[in-house]
Amino acid sequence: MTGRSRVVVAMSGGVDSSVAAALLVEAGHDVVGVFMRQGRPETTGAGELPIHAPTAAKPGHQGCCSVADALDARRVADRLGIPLYALDLTADFGRIIDYFAAEYGRGRTPNPCVRCNAWLKFGRLFEHADAVAATHVATGHYARLEPDGAGPPRLLRGLETARDQSYVLFDVRPERLRRMLLPVGGLAKAEVRRRAAALGLATADKPDSQEICFVAPGEHAALVAQRLGGSRAGEIVDAAGRVLGRHPGIEHFTVGQRQGLGIAAGTPLFVTRIEAETRRVVVGPRSAVPEAELTAAAATWLVAPPAAPFECRVQCRAQRSAAPAVVTPLAHDRFHARFVGGPDASPGPISPGQPAVCYDGDRLLGGGWIEG
């Protein structure tokens, strides 16, 4: 992007979005900050910036979108001399919480951050950008956009691999890429903090958000049970159907999980499958955890949709590495991935409900939602 443009920046109250806004101001753009309100009303004393706090956080919980985050976003905006508006997305965010609960109720492991990026940050914020005549929407994600001739930009991993967040952007609509800006994607985290400190931003030393913003650590199962009208308690069984114990709800488990099973065995046991219909959690040895192949649905492609099998690397969880695979397109926006790297290049446990995201080197090609 060249010349002076009006840019809407999603300001979460963290250091990354703070520096993203600062870099755009330094580049001479007309920057408009937006804080997304996502929970119940609370009083903050922020005057013209009433805030909704998602939940009461546990001590030590560092999520995002809290009252404290709103106040930090206000301090940064004042320091940068830009306006900050609160956008009430409470109803929209309820859709994400409903999705979160429904997926656990189906025995799947949801990824609300991907939904938030696709539906809100690079969804609803574009409506706000249009309303204020802004050409672009920016965030503090660690990912990069690179021009690609006359087509949409390429979406690349962040320069600092350990901080890369491209995975959670796979489901953004391809046509949005032309109007997206990711100012910190080409920086290391240490450089982002250094710049924040040099600018005197209140968020320079603020810890990174690590948790789901709408529920405190350890409480997601209670939220799911409340949302679905009760827990999904049932039996823990082995592959032969032999009952080994009982569990308080399938919402407590994900495929590949070892801790918290609540049963004693002579060898380590892992969750290999979750049966939502029977509310059974199936366990077995590590070798029985699915890692060899997957089928994904509702695919989004940021390149021309593939028509034939191709080789790439597929990532199945945000904090894991991508593994070599052969991806075969299927009908109805689905694809199959067969991993070919052997045990030394495994994608890790494959959990239905999580994204399977395809990469060619640093370039994100597309992805889908794991069915099984």
Least confident span in 51-65, 264-278, 297-311: 51-65
pLDDT value of position 1: 65
pLDDT value of position 236: 97
213 is catalytic: yes
Which member of 64, 113, 213, 312 is catalytic?
A: 213
pLDDT value of position 38: 74
Q: Which residues are within 8 A (CB) of 15 and not within 5 positions of it... i.e. 6 or more apart?
A: 140, 192, 193, 196, 201, 203, 204, 205, 206, 208
Q: Which residues are within 8 A (CB) of 130 and not within 5 positions of it... i.e. 6 or more apart?
A: none
Give the amino acid at 271. Answer: V
Per-residue pLDDT band at 48 (split at 50, 70, 90): very low
116 is catalytic: yes
Q: Dump pLDDT digits (tens) for 143-179.
A: 999 999 888 899 999 999 999 999 999 999 999 999 9
Q: Which domains does the chain have, with CATH numbers?
A: 6-198 (3.40.50.620), 231-288 (2.30.30.280), 293-370 (2.40.30.10)
pLDDT value of position 300: 97
Cα–Cα dist 161/157, whole Å: 7
Per-residue pLDDT band at 2 (split at 50, 70, 90): low
Which member of 64, 113, 116, 316 is catalytic?
A: 116
Give the SS3 label for residue 177: helix
Per-residue pLDDT band at 57 (split at 50, 70, 90): very low
